Amino acid sequence: VVTATATACDAIWAAMAALVATAIVVSHLPGTRLARLSALLRRARAARVPSVVLVLGWAWLGWHFFAR
Amino acid sequence: VAGVRLGPPARLGAGRAGAGLSPTHRLVAPAALLAAGLSSWAALTDPFTAGADAVTAVAIALCLAVGARGWRRAPALPDSAMAAAPGRWWPWAILGALVVAFELVTFFLGPRADYPTLSSLYDSAAGLRPVKGAFFLAWLALGAALVRW
């Protein structure tokens, strides 16, 4: 049974996904002032500590979703 | 086949696989094959099993090994590029904060059936093996990008 609360939560998640997708598209438009995610990641990767944090976060994400 | 007109003769040596490619580019095809194999393996596993642990650990170990190789290299961007702002970053921070906040709200409010978290949404989607394989492949691609940038 799908409750109204669950439907509302699903709608909010969907809205957030749409927002992220829109931001990605906007960041690729010519003349936009919104940074691209790839540029932000590349900038973070240029320093050691953010690099390690990003890779550890990635590893945790995989372990959480696929293993445990 | 008679009647079929062939194109100009191929250049000498052009048929050799990988000729003229950099060592990095030569690794693309084997890496893609490896990623496809790992993703297929992951798609066939179930969480909380030795198989799931193994395939995830192998993927993490591979990416960490690649990352460790580049550890001693100079930063990917020169200082001038670092100083240059890539654009507005705060909308991304707001979006990330919104996602984290709602994840925490749903996590603590609880039962998953009423308050689905990202993990429970993923679990529902990953019930389909191909979808799980696609998620794993996307995760691998992100890891490869992180250790190569």
Nearest CA in chain B to A53: B146
Dihedral angle of Cα A27, A40, A54, A46, to the nearest 10 degrees: 150
pTM: 0.78
Partners of B88 in beta bridges: A34
pLDDT at A51: 87
Of B134, B145, B139, residue with least CA distance to B40: B134
> In this model, does residue B102 exceed pLDDT 70?
yes
- pLDDT score recorded for residue B3: 45
pLDDT of residue B10: 46
Per-residue pLDDT tens digits for A28-43? 999 899 999 888 888 8
Cβ–Cβ gap A40/B89 under 8 Å: yes
Q: Is pLDDT at A59 greater than 80 in this prediction?
A: yes
Q: Chain A: give the shortest CA distance to residue B91, in Å.
A: 8
Beta partners for residue A34, in sequence order:
B88
Cα–Cα distance, B23 to B102 (Å, whole number): 45
Residues 6 or more apart in contact with residue A14 via CB below 8 angstroms: none
